[in-house]
């Protein structure tokens, strides 16, 4: 790796996050309309019961009639995965998106992914066509055999761009809102390629960009929109150890309402604090042993400072919370002194391990070996010879984009001097 590349990576680790050029803080789109706040829709509890939206696609089988398969209401007696006597799309195994069993076809296919328009986390702007001439996002780009959604977001955030796009499982592009003005939306199901760095995330498709706002998973920010959503650092990846992040929250109104859509911290040493921005007084504090209460939480302050700290060992999915400003200052009473709140149980299968299993099909990616899903395997690998992808994913900093292989002529290849 060159000197400039090493310097670029050190900047990522030690410099504060830059505010994207022209970005309006707190501009994540339509959080109140979303039914999902996890990138893979594992938290979907909606009522779509066909594989396509608005009555399209194939009908789903009822979960209490699928005992011959791996997942049924009998395998989820506590309802942690949302299975039951219904045929709604769910994601019980931590796959890349909700799915359901269908009547077996002549090809032997017995399950399908569900295309659910309302199940896309706020901050995801959609699946866009990328013909390459001109590119859908006009900023810097690169590829990585360890690409995740957050790796691309972090890269574009450091470059000062508003948007980040992932494509074909391994490519990352940066751009601005002006690029989207001339962009062309593609069907959501076209963005169906698994990220090379995370088997539970989708990174665009063949000639298709999955586009995100770079504020998703940022470690700091100033949020002034009337409503929005704040994610834990590194989201949708797990947050890392020794994180110290803060977000200033000041929407119009005299009070605030917060609703935690997801909360999963590693232990009591990973802590989220809510403080009055004017006085600095502590209003609420939550950690891995004391999660927030279910339902909306009203705070009688117009401006809030949120701080999150993780210890040296901490890593977990994190949190997603929606907020909105309220016209009056009515406040919910805090929990009684010394009372304990029951921790929310994490979703089984939400965090997918990358380790070989005896007898399971495997695929090599960037020097690691990951088992493929028996339910619906996809093959890993960059175009061209496998050895072309190895050095960038293994010798360089983990997850950092690297120049594209020569076979992928449609992707713009960055020169080595750019610091990638």
Greater confidence (302 vs 353) lies with 302
291: domain CATH number is 2.60.120.290
Q: How confident is the model at residue 98 (pLDDT cuts 50, 70, 90)?
A: very high
- The region of weakest confidence among 182-196, 242-256, 260-274, 351-365 is 351-365
Question: Which pLDDT value is given to residue 154?
Answer: 95
Q: Which of 117-131, 201-215, 282-296 has the lowest mean pLDDT?
A: 117-131
Neighbour count for residue 319 (Cβ, 10 Å): 24
pLDDT at res. 334? 57
**How do residues 129-165 score in pLDDT, each as one tens digit?**
998 888 899 999 999 999 999 999 999 999 999 999 9
Note whether 98 and 184 are same-domain residues: no
- Residue 162 in any domain: the answer is yes
pLDDT score at 182:
87
User: Binning pLDDT at 50, 70 and 90, where does residue 267 land?
Assistant: very high
Average pLDDT over residues 192-200: 92
Q: How far is CA 155 from CA 88, 166, 211, 369, in A?
A: 37, 11, 14, 25
CA dihedral 91, 81, 43, 246 (to 10 degrees): -120
- Residue 164 falls inside a structural domain: yes
Same domain, 311 and 233: yes
Whether residue 233 is found in the same domain as residue 205:
no
Tell me which of 21 and 255 has the higher pLDDT. Answer: 255
* CATH number, residue 74: 2.40.20.10
pTM: 0.69
Last residue of a domain, one of 326, 347, 364: 326
In this predicted structure, what is the pLDDT of residue 211?
A: 96
For residues 242 and 347, what is the distance between their CA atoms, to the nearest angstrom? 24
Closest residue by Cα to residue 146 from 366, 373, 350? 366
| pLDDT score of 10 more than 80 | no
Question: If you average pLDDT over residues 278-301, what whole number do you get?
Answer: 94
Q: Are residues 95 and 133 in the same domain?
A: no
Q: Is pLDDT at 358 greater than 60 in this prediction?
A: no
The answer to whether 139 touches 176, Cβ cutoff 8 Å, is: yes
Task: Indicate if 193 and 156 belong to the same structural domain.
Answer: yes
Alpha-carbon gap, residue 332 to 306, rounded angstroms = 18
What percentage of the chain carries pLDDT values higher than 70?
Answer: 70
Residue that is last in its domain, among 102, 119, 136? 119
Three-class DSSP labels, the chain: CCHHHHHHHHHHHHCCCCCCCCCCCCCCCCHHHCCCCCCCCCCCCCCCCECCCCCCCCECCCHHHCCCCCCCHHHCCCCCCCCCCCCCCECCCCCCCCEEECCCCCCCCCEEECCCCCCCCCCEEEEEECCCCCCCCCCCEEECCCCCHHHHHHHHHHCCCCEEEEECCCEEEEECHHHHHCCCECCHHHCCCEECCEEEEECCECCEEEEEECCCCCCEEEECCCEEEEECCCCCCCCCCCCEEEEEECCCCCEEEEEEEEEECCCCCCEEEEEECCCCCEEEEEECCCCCCCCCEEECCCCEEEEEECCCCCCCCEEEEEEEEECCCCCCCCCCCCCCCCCCCCCCCCCCCCCCCCCCCEEEECCEEEECCCCCCCCCCCCCCHHHCHHHHHCCCCCCCECCCCCCCCCCCCCHHHCC
Of 89, 119, 149, at which residue does a domain stop? 119
pLDDT exceeds 60 at position 250 = yes
Q: Please enumerate in sequence order all residues whose Cβ is within 8 A of that of 54, keeping only pairs 6 or more positions apart, or say none.
A: none
The mean pLDDT of the chain is 76
pLDDT band at 401 (very low <50, low <70, confident <90, very high): very low
Whether residue 291 has pLDDT greater than 80: yes
Q: What pLDDT score was predicted for residue 108?
A: 78
- Are the CB atoms for 147 and 195 separated by under 8 Å? yes
Across the range 17-40, mean pLDDT stands at 55
Is 415 a member of any domain? Answer: no
Contact 82, 45 (CB under 8 A): yes
Name which residue leads in pLDDT, 299 or 383.
299
The mean pLDDT value for 72-76 works out to 93
Residues 322 and 232 in one domain: yes
Residues 145 and 209 in one domain: yes
How does residue 81 score in pLDDT terms, banded at 50, 70 and 90? Answer: very high
Instruction: Kindly state whether residue 351 falls inside one of the protein's structural domains.
Output: no
pLDDT of residue 288: 93
Question: What band does 181 get if pLDDT is binned at 50, 70 and 90?
Answer: confident
Residues 231 and 315 in one domain: yes
First to last CA, the chain: 9
334: left (phi over 0), alpha (psi -120 to 50) or beta: beta
Q: What is the pLDDT of residue 39?
A: 87
How many domains are there within the chain?
A: 3
**Across residues 270-278, what is the average pLDDT?**
96
In order of 151, 208, 294, the CA distances from 35 in angstroms are: 25, 24, 16
* Whether residue 103 sits in one domain with residue 141: no
Asked whether residue 399 carries a pLDDT value surpassing 50, the answer given is no
State both tokens at 405.
């292989």
The per-residue pLDDT for range 321-352, each reduced to its tens digit, is 999 999 976 666 555 333 334 333 333 333 32
Same domain, yes or no: 241 and 271: yes
For residue 420, being part of any structural domain is answered with: no
**What does the pLDDT average to over 179-190?**
88
Instruction: Report yes or no on 335 lying in a domain.
Output: no
Residues of the chain above pLDDT 90, percent: 55
The boundaries of the domain holding residue 108 are 37-119
Q: Is the residue at 359 inside a domain?
A: no
| Alpha-carbon span 271 to 378, nearest angstrom | 37
Q: How confident is the model at residue 44 (pLDDT cuts 50, 70, 90)?
A: very high
Q: What is the rounded (10 degree) CA torsion for 374, 378, 382, 385?
A: 60
Parallel, antiparallel or unpaired: strands 220-223 and 244-249 = parallel
**Contact criterion met (CB below 8 Å) for 404 and 393:** no
How does residue 189 score in pLDDT terms, banded at 50, 70 and 90?
A: confident
**Would the pLDDT of 212 be above 50?**
yes
242: in domain: yes
Looking at per-residue pLDDT, the higher value among 304 and 328 belongs to 304
Whether 114 and 137 map to the same domain: the answer is no
For residue 173, list its beta bridge partners: 141, 165
pLDDT score recorded for residue 193: 92
| 115 and 188 assigned to the same domain | no
């Amino acid at each position: 790796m060159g000197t400039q590349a090493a310097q670029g990576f050190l900047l990522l680790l030690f410099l504060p996050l830059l505010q994207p050029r022209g970005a309006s803080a707190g501009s994540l789109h339509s959080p109140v309309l979303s039914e999902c706040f996890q990138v893979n829709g594992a938290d979907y509890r909606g009522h779509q019961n066909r594989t396509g939206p608005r009555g399209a696609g194939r009908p789903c089988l009822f979960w209490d009639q699928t005992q011959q398969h791996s997942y049924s209401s009998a395998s989820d007696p506590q309802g942690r995965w949302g299975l039951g006597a219904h045929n709604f799309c769910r994601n019980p195994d931590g796959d890349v998106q909700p799915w359901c069993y269908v009547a077996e076809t002549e090809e032997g296919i017995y399950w399908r992914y569900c295309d659910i328009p309302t199940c896309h986390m706020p901050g995801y702007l959609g699946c866009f066509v990328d013909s390459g001439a001109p590119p859908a996002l006009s900023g810097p780009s690169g590829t990585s055999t360890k690409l995740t959604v957050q790796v691309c977001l972090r890269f574009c955030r450091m470059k000062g761009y508003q948007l980040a796009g992932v494509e074909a499982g391994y490519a990352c592009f940066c751009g601005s809102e002006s690029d989207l003005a001339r962009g062309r939306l593609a069907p959501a199901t076209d963005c169906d390629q698994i990220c090379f760095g995370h088997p539970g995330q989708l990174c665009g498709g063949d000639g298709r960009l999955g586009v995100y706002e770079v504020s998703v998973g940022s470690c700091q920010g100033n949020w002034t929109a009337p409503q929005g959503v704040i994610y834990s650092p590194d989201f949708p990846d797990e947050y890392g150890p020794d994180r110290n992040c803060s977000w200033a929250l000041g929407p119009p109104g005299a009070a605030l309402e917060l609703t935690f859509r997801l909360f999963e911290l590693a232990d009591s040493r990973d802590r989220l604090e809510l403080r009055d921005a004017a006085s600095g007084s502590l209003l609420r504090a939550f950690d891995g042993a004391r999660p927030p209460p279910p339902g909306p939480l009203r705070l009688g302050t117009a401006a809030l400072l949120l701080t999150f700290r993780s210890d040296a060992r901490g890593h977990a999915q994190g949190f997603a919370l929606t907020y909105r400003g309220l016209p009056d200052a009515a406040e919910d009473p805090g929990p009684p002194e010394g009372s304990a709140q029951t921790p929310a149980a994490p979703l089984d299968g939400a965090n997918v391990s990358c380790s070989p299993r005896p007898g399971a099909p495997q695929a090599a990616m960037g020097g690691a070996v990951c088992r493929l899903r028996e339910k619906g395997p996809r093959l890993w690998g960059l175009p061209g010879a496998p050895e072309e992808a190895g050095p960038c994913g293994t010798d360089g900093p983990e997850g950092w984009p690297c120049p594209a292989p020569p076979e992928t002529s449609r992707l713009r290849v960055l020169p080595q001097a750019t610091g990638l």
